[in-house]
């Protein structure tokens, strides 16, 4: 299980990606190898119909940071 992301991790990056769904509540680290805005974790693989967009992290303080190790979490335990 991944560990929750700390507030320090929020300060590490300025831009993240989020699902464009009205129900989205999580920010993901940007996948540097993707052509389109996409999370670094496997979230995009599980949701084929999901669309992601770049957002400034500071504009979404009420969103959670993805706890997946590829995003903002620590190692799997």
Determine, yes or no, domain membership for 59: yes
pLDDT score of 4: 45
% of the chain surpassing 70 pLDDT:
82
pLDDT at 51 over 50: yes
Determine, yes or no, domain membership for 22: yes
Determine, yes or no, domain membership for 77: no
pLDDT digits (tens, 9 = 90+) for 17-42: 999 999 999 999 999 999 999 999 99
Instruction: For residue 47, name the pLDDT band (cuts at 50, 70, 90).
Output: confident
Determine, yes or no, domain membership for 71: no
Determine, yes or no, domain membership for 75: no
Is 39 in contact with 74 (CB distance < 8 Å)?
no
pLDDT at 2 over 50: no
Number of helical H runs and strand E runs in the chain: 2, 4
How many structural domains is the chain composed of?
1
60 closest CA partner among 23, 28, 27: 27
> Which domain does 43 fall in, by range?
7-65
Determine, yes or no, domain membership for 57: yes
């Amino acid at each position: 299980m991944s560990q929750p992301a700390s507030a320090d991790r929020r300060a590490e990056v300025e831009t993240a990606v989020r699902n464009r769904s009205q129900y989205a509540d999580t920010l993901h680290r940007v996948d540097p190898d993707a052509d389109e805005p996409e999370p670094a974790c496997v979230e995009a693989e599980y949701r084929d119909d999901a669309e992601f967009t770049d957002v400034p992290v500071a504009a979404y303080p009420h969103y959670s940071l993805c706890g997946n190790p590829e995003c903002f979490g620590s190692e799997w335990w």
